[in-house]
Amino acid sequence: MKLSGADAFVRMFKGHGVTHMFGLPGDSLGLYDAIFRDGAIRHVLVRHEQAAAHMADAYARVTGRVAVCDASSGPGVTNLVTALATAHADSIGVVAITTTSPTGFRQRGNFQELDQRALLGSIAKTVIEIDNPARVPELTKRAFRIASTGRPGVVVLNVPMDVFLGQAEFSDAELACDARFGVFPALRVRPADGEAKKVLELLRKAKKPVIWCGGGVVTAGASLAIQALAEATGVPVTTTYMGKGSLPENHPLSLGPAGLLGRPMTNKYLADVDLVLAIGTRFTNVDTANWNIPKRGTAIVQVDIDPAELGKNYDVLHSVWADAKLFAEELAALAAQGPKITEKARAEVSAIRAAWLAERGPDSAQAQYSQDEPVHPLQAMRALREAMGPEDTLICDSGFNQIWGGQYFEVTRPGRSYVGPRGMGTMGFAFPAAIGAKIAEPNRRFVALAGDGGFMMLVHELETAVRMKTPVVVCVLNNRSLEYCKAAQTGLLGQRYISTDLGDSNFAEIAKAFGAHGVRVTRSAELPGVLKQALDSDVVTVVEVITPDVAKPDGVPF
């Protein structure tokens, strides 16, 4: 069968289950024409390439399917970089197809020519060059295999524009795809024989063990297995922000998130644990309060799909190379055959949770922050949790809004209903991510939570959301500042404020200018009703919440 390179790409994407792509055209028009002629893939036109990759990232997070984005050469690729770095840092399976100079024009100072392979290599698992249309099926299949196996991540296909238009003969075998590699994790590593038994023995010897879950648990779909493990052993569970949803946070064995931006009461409990069973976490500086929680010298059992992470940031007593779900299922089944490891942890955790709810939980907002205007962020978290159902998903941006969401928005069902750009902390992520998630799962409800600084970075995607009829809700906490940086200036730099105060933009009116619905909320009493109405509507809605510029979440180290 004779096909153009672009037609072969479309065949490969369809063979891996791709139904949507996100991007902005340029010298990639040959690919766009093939998508148009085939008709099976819906291409989502964005207003900036960064948004395209954020949309693909979130699409992949909520579906578990490898998502595809595209950009044209030069500035299109540089615009893509930040968002690809975000997806890769959070181990999300994304294939990006980038156009480059025609094969005969390279290294001649061609218009928009860059060394794209070098530029993209540090933010992807690999960059694959395709210089011949005959190799499109082979190398595209390789890209999906790499993106979906091991520790998932970003793979870039770097394609000269003439390859899209060039023709080649293909056999049926060359065009056949293994659809398994369209989802991640595609291949799961079973723990070696005896590993689960060894870990159970270590848990039983410990006096105060804890299970520590990272994003690898949620990505692997291991949440139900973690719940079974916690209930079979009686061992409590803490998480990173990426690991929220590993265990419902209203479960009596849930300690909530730990680390530099975690709950102080959780960190206090973790200070004297004697064994940590860490599953799917890299022990980053933020997740461990700069490697102080757990304390150095604590016995650690680390389980990870990526052997390079085992023992990288902490010395470990025992390491297990395995898929989080398969390991947790095997360990839970073994543990269920014997008595619980601890009976007292449940009462201790319940007491910690009750104290947190009383002192700093969302329900304490009414007592602590009785003023009606402006709206304290804790009141906003309370209103969000009341308005959103357990199946709804909160997508956070970066900054204090993510900490408010991470600490105070409790995930009450297993799985991914909290999303945030933890590895990179990328401002501007939440809104395009919510669009991508809603396109992937149109029957689910998504709320983007952002500060005024972050939302403004990609606010133009309001046009995309309205045009695509993607009814997401954006809750903008407007404190007229880059508050995380300003708080650091307050706590560390003697209140010398420079370049952290912003103007008072009216985001509700901006939303209306794009054809969306916009509401500005200045009083806390108004917020629950406004949020409920926004969630129940079928239009893009921006809920702008005026907040004080002095509110700071717990645990912020300045």
Q: How confident is the model at residue 86 (pLDDT cuts 50, 70, 90)?
A: very high
Question: Is 0.85 topped by the overall pTM?
Answer: yes
Q: How confident is the model at residue 557 (pLDDT cuts 50, 70, 90)?
A: confident
**Beta-strand relationship, 275-279 and 517-521:** unpaired
Q: What does the pLDDT look like over 194-232, one tens digit per residue?
A: 999 999 999 999 999 999 999 999 999 999 999 999 999
Residue 357: strand, helix, or coil? helix
pLDDT of residue 370: 61
How confident is the prediction for the chain on average, in pLDDT?
Answer: 94
Tell me the average pLDDT across 429-440.
99
pLDDT of residue 497: 92
Sheet holding 473-478, edge to edge: 418-419, 393-396, 446-451, 473-478, 541-546, 517-521
CB 469 within 8 A of CB 441: no
Residues 6+ apart with CB under 8 A from 162: 102, 103, 104
**Domains with residue ranges and CATH for the chain:** 2-182 (3.40.50.970), 195-351 (3.40.50.1220), 361-546 (3.40.50.970)
Closest CA to 158 of 134, 127, 133, 136: 127
pLDDT of residue 550: 76
Answer with the residue of higher pLDDT: 143 or 350. Answer: 143
Check whether 307 has a pLDDT greater than 60. Answer: yes
Check whether 354 has a pLDDT greater than 90. Answer: no
Check whether 105 has a pLDDT greater than 80. Answer: no
Q: How confident is the model at residue 358 (pLDDT cuts 50, 70, 90)?
A: confident
CA distance 523 to 501: 22
241-260 exposure pattern, b = at least 16 Cβ within 10 A, e = fewer: bbbbbbbbbebebbbbbbbb
CB 295 within 8 A of CB 271: yes
CB 548 within 8 A of CB 374: yes
CB atoms within 10 A of CB 496: 8
Q: What does the pLDDT look like over 270-297, one tens digit per residue?
A: 999 999 999 999 999 999 999 999 999 9
State the Cα angle at 305 between 302 and 307, rounded to 5°: 70
pLDDT of residue 555: 74
Dihedral angle at the C-alpha atoms of 181, 39, 466, 81, nearest 10 degrees? Answer: 40
501 CA to centre of own chain: 28
Closest CA to 251 of 388, 349, 363: 349
Check whether 130 has a pLDDT greater than 70. Answer: yes
